[in-house]
Amino acid sequence: MASVEPLPQPALELPPRRRGRRSSLRSWRRGDRVIFVAAWSVGVALCVIAGAIVIYLGVEGLRYLDPKLLVTSPSPSVDQATSGGFLDPIVGTVTLAVLGTLIATPIAVSAAVWVVEYGRPRWLAVAVETAIEMIAGTPDIVIAIFGLALFQLGIFAPLSFRSSGGGVYGRSFLATGFMVSLLAMPLTYTATRNALQAVPRHLREASYALGKTRIATIRRVLLPSVRAEMSTGATLGMGRIIGTTAIVVLLLGASLQTSPQGNVPLLGFLRGTGTTLTGYVFANSPSGEGNAPQKAYAAAFVLMILVLVLNAAVERISRIAGANTVQAGRLAR
């Protein structure tokens, strides 16, 4: 484009920041005033509660947290000085988070794509929606019991192991991974579905108008468009997995140490049992069998740090992935 020579600009003084007169709170309708005050108080209260949890756990956790605890395995002992740390629970938490997310994300994204982009026959789409809503509303403990019943079936023996009596044990990282994926799936599904529904129609049509098929449009245009929301949903799902206790206590074997099955390196580990940080906190809390509150505090502190890091990651991912999406483009303009 041709450039136009700019006119010479006289220097302008930056005016001071000023604000004109605004309406006073007293002149508002009563309803508006109530909502205004309520919104402020609820917002502040939430911050105070969140801050209180972080500070309390921080103080208690740091008091008992010894770096050695992070790198030593738990060992059975009545004496707290020799009962070890929580290396195994940390490994367990990370393993389950990765495993559950790896299982949940492809299923959730495929379901969302199918419901939004195909969605025929209509009744099937409605059924899928309802099923996912039901999964989202199912309490952890119900999912745990169902999982236990399911994975003790003979055909699922490869996921855990058969005891000498012939019964299937049904508890392992793999079995737990499948069940915790149910916690993450609705979050990823909802995030992806909402994002796909928000993609303007003309973007799809632009791709069709270039001679692309529907599936090519989904892969090359739609999924890249919703990357930010998709990863936010998956990360939130990961947070749900990290936070679950019931499924871990029932399905992961309730052993504080990881105990692999067989000699195959990774598979053996996944077929074996173990625990997570939440399971460890539960076991060491006054209601668990360990009853070592100091260790529970320290582990809870680590758990909280993990969740906070994950939340920060959500923020970052959605910002980076979102920088190149339609919505961001609209904002930038």
Partner 1 sequence: MSNNGTMLIDPIVIERKSVTAPGFPGLAAATSPERMRLDEVTVFYDGVPAVRGASLAIHQGEVLALIGPSGCGKTTLLRTLNRLTELTPNARQGGRVTLDGEDILEIEDTALRTRVAMVFQQPNPFPMSIFDNVAFALREQARRRPRRRELGPLVQHALERAGLWAEVADKLDTPALRLSGGQQQRLCIARAIASGPEILLMDEPCSALDPRSTSVIEELIHSLREDLAIVIVTHNLQQARRVADRVAFMYLGDLVELGSTQQIFEAPRESATSEYIAGAFG
Q: Binding residues for partner 1, per CB under 8 A?
A: 1, 200, 202-203, 205-213, 216, 220-221, 224-225, 227, 323-326, 328-330, 332-333
Nearer to partner 1, 46 or 206 (CB): 206
Q: Pull the structure tokens for residue 325.
A: 């999406």
In the complex, the smallest distance separating the C-beta of residue 321 from partner 1, rounded to whole angstroms, is 10
* Length of the chain counted residue by residue: 333
In the complex, the smallest distance separating the C-beta of residue 118 from partner 1, rounded to whole angstroms, is 12
Nearer to partner 1, 254 or 328 (CB): 328
In the complex, the smallest distance separating the C-beta of residue 116 from partner 1, rounded to whole angstroms, is 14
In the complex, the smallest distance separating the C-beta of residue 117 from partner 1, rounded to whole angstroms, is 12
Q: Pull the structure tokens for residue 144.
A: 């745990």
In the complex, the smallest distance separating the C-beta of residue 213 from partner 1, rounded to whole angstroms, is 6
- Count Cβ atoms below 10 Å from residue 39 Cβ, excluding itself: 10
Nearer to partner 1, 4 or 12 (CB): 4
Nearer to partner 1, 221 or 270 (CB): 221
Nearer to partner 1, 159 or 221 (CB): 221
Distance between CA atoms of residues 152 and 165, nearest Å: 13
Nearer to partner 1, 138 or 194 (CB): 194
In the complex, the smallest distance separating the C-beta of residue 222 from partner 1, rounded to whole angstroms, is 10
Nearer to partner 1, 196 or 221 (CB): 221
Distance between CA atoms of residues 120 and 126, nearest Å: 10
In the complex, the smallest distance separating the C-beta of residue 305 from partner 1, rounded to whole angstroms, is 34
